[in-house]
Amino acid sequence: MPAGAASLHSILIVPGYLGSSPEHWQSWMQAQLPEARRVVDIDWSEPVLVQWAAAVRTQIDRSRGVVWLVAHSFGCFAAAVAASERPERVGGSLLVAPADPDRFSPLGLRGTSGTLPAESLSSWLPERPLPGASALIASTDDPWMGFAKAAYLANRWGCLLVNAGQSGHINVESGFGPWPQGLDMLRSLQRAHDGMPLGPIDEERSRREPEERVLTRLRRRTRQALVP
């Protein structure tokens, strides 16, 4: 990465359901990158997409320069929604082992409570390509997402699809503590972006814009799901 890149980029680490332990590759990557920090104000035990996406978007708004999102599992959904809300701020996303959206409802894991709506999150996610240079890394034996579904999601979001082979959920349990290859992929995405203008970043304008976009629609539908 060129000298001074740390002052030009911010990196947001977005863990998945139940968070990322100190042994997780996301924690390792965060320690390697002085410009990286973990998204805050998320209850990792409650995978409610509208709340997670709003927290990621808030952190994007508070970040310096071009923002890069490094997400895992359910965090990929929150990153995708937030990136769609702030395309003028996001340089790209590294989405690793996204979970199957059909396993979740707007209010959390499906089937864990009789009060949860039956509808899955699949139709709630962004339909258009994500901003910037993005890659989706998926394995062929991930218990949380079949590879064919991951490939469909990558195509839907305009991401480079990277086949990680038999790597499970690409987490601590499948042997992914320190992960130099993942860090190399992030740096490759950043190099592809460098020198390509994003256009002027008008943060005040982005805050004033009417929110009839992905996150607003998600909020509305989540409220509707709470109505008996």
Q: 3-state class of 8 per DSSP?
A: helix
Residue pLDDT, tens place only, 1-22: 444 444 478 999 999 999 999 9
Residue pLDDT, tens place only, 123-155: 889 999 999 999 999 999 999 999 999 999 999
| Cα separation, 36 vs 34, whole angstroms | 6
User: Which domain does 35 fall in, by range?
Assistant: 5-226
DSSP for residue 81:
H
**Count of the separate structural domains present in the chain:** 1
Total-model pTM: 0.83
Buried/exposed 141-171: b ≥16 CB within 10 Å, e otherwise:
ebebbebebbeebbebbebeebebeebbbbb
Which distant-in-sequence residues (6+ apart) come within 8 Å of 72 by Cβ?
14, 15, 16, 20, 24, 26, 96, 97, 170, 171
Q: 3-state class of 181 per DSSP?
A: helix
CATH number, domain of 139, equals: 3.40.50.1820
Contact 104, 121 (CB under 8 A): yes
Q: Exposed, middle or buried: residue 205 (CB in 10 Å: 0-12, 13-18, 19+)?
A: exposed
Residue pLDDT, tens place only, 159-202: 999 999 999 999 999 999 999 999 999 999 998 877 554 443 34
Q: What is the mean pLDDT of the chain?
A: 86
| Cα separation, 69 vs 136, whole angstroms | 12
Tokens matching residue 155: 């195509």
